[in-house]
Amino acid sequence: MRKIWMFLALFGGLSFASIAQEAAESEVVTEDDITKFATVEVMTAKYVDAKTEELRNMIINNEVIDGGARYNEIKAAWGNAEKEAEIKLTEEEKAAYQAIKDFQDSLQQSVVEYKTELIKNDEILGVSTYNKVNGAIKEDPAMKEKLDQKIAQLKSEKDTAETDGQ
């Protein structure tokens, strides 16, 4: 008898789990949800572009390394004492390159933190909306296409606004 009750409890728990999953899957993704999700993607891309430009400027405008050609030369030799000696890498250049490398290495974490904050902010997107849309685009290729179109539209509008503003 005890086994029967345990079986019923387990079966009942699984049934409730599947009902909850079906309810989550049946949540309707609205146009507003897609717009919010796309806005976060565009904001994140803009943030990445700004940080990439900052990195580029660090390399090009570095007084010690003196531009991109020397930076690339150092990068190719980095970590190989023989090659570093061959290109006559100075301690000052090592320090400057290390600072650039540290910034570059921190970029990915910076982007993750930025996007996470956008997702967590209920006024911008919200975790539940993010999960709903993210699940929908994984399940439905048409939804993914709709999102991609919305992202392209928002980027185009942003580019037009920036061009008109200059």
| pTM for the structure as a whole | 0.72
Q: DSSP assignment of 14-50, as one string? A: HHHHHHHHHHHHTPPPPHHHHHHHHHHHHHHHHHHHH
- Between CA 85 and CA 66 the distance in angstroms is 18
Task: Say if residues 74 and 87 touch (Cβ distance below 8 Å).
Answer: yes
- Between CA 46 and CA 38 the distance in angstroms is 12
The tokens describing 45, both together, are 């891309």
Domains held by the chain: number: 1
Q: What is the pLDDT of residues 109-163, one digit of tens each?
A: 999 999 999 999 999 999 999 999 999 999 999 999 999 999 999 998 877 777 6
Q: What is the pLDDT of residues 67-125, one digit of tens each?
A: 889 999 999 999 999 999 999 999 999 999 999 999 999 999 999 999 999 999 999 99
Q: Which domain holds residue 159?
A: 2-165
- Between CA 55 and CA 107 the distance in angstroms is 9
Task: Look at residue 103 in the predicted model and tell me its pLDDT.
Answer: 95
Nearest to 104 by CA among 60, 58, 67: 58
Alpha helices in 26-140 (DSSP H): 31-60, 68-77, 81-86, 91-120, 127-139
CA dihedral 98, 103, 105, 107 (to 10 degrees): -170
